[in-house]
Structure 1
C-alpha cells in the first residue's frame, strides 16, 4: 500500500496535511491521552490537566496555570522529527499546499514549512492582556515572576494558545477549511480525530484519497483509502521519498 500512496503523493497538486499531538511525540513531546500523556500528569496541584488548561482556571488560578504551563506545555529543546522534515520537503517540491495542526510547539515552522495553520495557537506568541504588547516565547519566559508581567504596563502576558472554553481563531479556521476543501489528497496523522471542532475538518474533505497515519483506530478509518499504524516519521519520510 505504501507504494500506491507514494504515487498519490507524486500525482498530487494540492495535498494537505492535518496533524495532532502524535506528530510531535517522536520529538519527545508527550501526547495527551496515552498512558504516558499529558492527561496522566497531576502536576502536583490536585487539579486534572484538562481543568488547568481551561480559560476559567487561567483567570481564577493564574499562578497555578503558569506553573503547570511552563513545566509541561513548553519544550524548548524539542527539534523537528522526520515527519516535520518530510512535510517541509513536500511543500518545497510544490506538492503540499498547507499544514493544518492542532499542535502549539512550532516544530513545523522550525522544519521549514511556511504555510501552517495553527488551530490551537502557539507557545511562541504571547500578548499582554492589558496593553497588547507582543512577546516571543523567550521574552515571555524572561519576565520576572511565575505569572509573567508585561514590562510596559504590568499586565498579565497570556500565551496565544486556545484553552478549553475558548473559541478557535475564526480566520485560521476559515483558511484551514478552505485548504482541506481544495485538497486532492488529505493526509491525517497523529490525531485521534475525537476532539472537536478540529476533528470536523476531515468532514470538509470530499476527495477519495484520504490517508490516515495513527497508532490507534480513529472514527474515520472506514472512510480512509489507506491507513498506516507505524511510526509517523518513518511513514511520512517514505511517502516523501
Structure 2
C-alpha cells in the first residue's frame, strides 16, 4: 500500500468527526465529465462558452440553447456511484463522517447511501415550475423538447445554481457549522477554483487537511495524494 494512503487510513481511523468536501473529480470515475480539466467541458468548443450558457442571464435570454446544452452535457441518467461515493457512505454509516459537502449536482452521493449531503450548487434531480412551484424529476427535463413546460404552462427550471445566482444561505450555514466542528477535512476531486464554495474551506479549525486530487491545489495540506479519488478511498 502507498505510504500516503496508509497515512490517510490512520487519520480516518483516528478521527470521529470527518467532513468531506468534494468536486467534479469525485464523479468523473462514474462517467460524468468535469469542467476544468484539460479535456473538460470548458475546453471544448461550443457556440457559446459554457460559463455563458450556464449563467442566469443566458437562461433568461436563450432558454432553448440553455436546455439543449443542459440536456446533452449535464444530465447523466446512466451514471452510478463509484468506490469513492460508496466509501464515504460507509464512513457515515460507521459514525465517522458527519457530512459530505459537494459542488456536484448529480445526486450520486445520495444514490450510494449518504444521508447528510450538502449540495452547494443544487441538483439535476430536482426541478420545479417557475410559475406554480410544482416539482418535476430529472426525466421531465431530459425527455422534453425545447423549453420544458409545466402543466400550467410555466417553465420547468432545474434546481441548480447558475452563474450570477447566489448559493442557498441555509446550505452555506450548515456547511460552515460542519466544517468548523470537524477534526479531519478530506478535500477530493476539486481544484478549489470555484468561489464562493471553495472559500468555505477556511472555516475548518480541526487537526488535519487531506487533499486527494490529480493536480495540486493551493494551500499547504497535511497530506496530498495525486491519484484518482475512487482508487484512493477504495483502499482505506
Which category describes the TM-score, using the shorter chain as reference length?
Answer: over 0.9
SS of match in other structure, 2:123: strand
Q: Pairwise mapping of residues 220-231 of structure 1 onto structure 2 (< 5 A)?
A: 220=219, 222=220, 224-231=221-228
Q: Give per-residue Cα distances to partners, 1:146-178, cap 9 Å, x unaligned.
A: 110001x11000000000000000101111111
Q: Where in structure 1 are there 5+ consecutive unaligned residues?
A: none
Q: Give per-residue Cα distances to partners, 1:61-98, cap 9 Å, x unaligned.
A: 00000000000000011111111011011111111010
Q: Give per-residue Cα distances to partners, 1:179-209, cap 9 Å, x unaligned.
A: 1111000000000011111111111101221
User: Are the counterparts in 2 of residues 208 and 225 from structure 1 also a CA contact under 8 Å?
Assistant: no
Residue 120 of structure 2 corresponds to 119
Residue 197 of structure 2 corresponds to 198
Residue 52 of structure 2 corresponds to 51
SS of match in other structure, 1:113: coil
C-alpha RMSD of the superposition: 1.0
Q: Pairwise mapping of residues 22-101 of structure 1 onto structure 2 (< 5 A)?
A: 22-43=25-46, 46-101=47-102
Task: Count matched residues.
Answer: 233
**For residues 142 and 2 of structure 1, do their structure 2 counterparts lie closer, same or farther at Cα, with a shift above 3 Å needed?**
closer
Deviates further, 206-215 or 56-65 = 206-215
User: Are the counterparts in 1 of residues 75 and 142 from structure 2 also a CA contact under 8 Å?
Assistant: no
SS of match in other structure, 1:3: helix
Residue 233 of structure 2 corresponds to 236
Q: Pairwise mapping of residues 10-29 of structure 1 onto structure 2 (< 5 A)?
A: 10-29=13-32
Q: Pairwise mapping of residues 202-221 of structure 1 onto structure 2 (< 5 A)?
A: 202-220=201-219
In 2, Cα distance between equivalents of 1:2 and 1:129: 47
Give the structure-2-normalised TM-score.
Answer: 0.96
User: Are the counterparts in 1 of residues 89 and 114 from structure 2 also a CA contact under 8 Å?
Assistant: yes
Equivalent in 6, 13, 30 of residue 3 of structure 1: 6
User: Are the counterparts in 1 of residues 54 and 163 from structure 2 also a CA contact under 8 Å?
Assistant: yes
Cα drift, residue 5 of structure 1: 2.0
Give the structure-1-normalised TM-score.
Answer: 0.94
Q: Give per-residue Cα distances to partners, 1:195-237, cap 9 Å, x unaligned.
A: 11111111110122100001111112x2x11000011001111
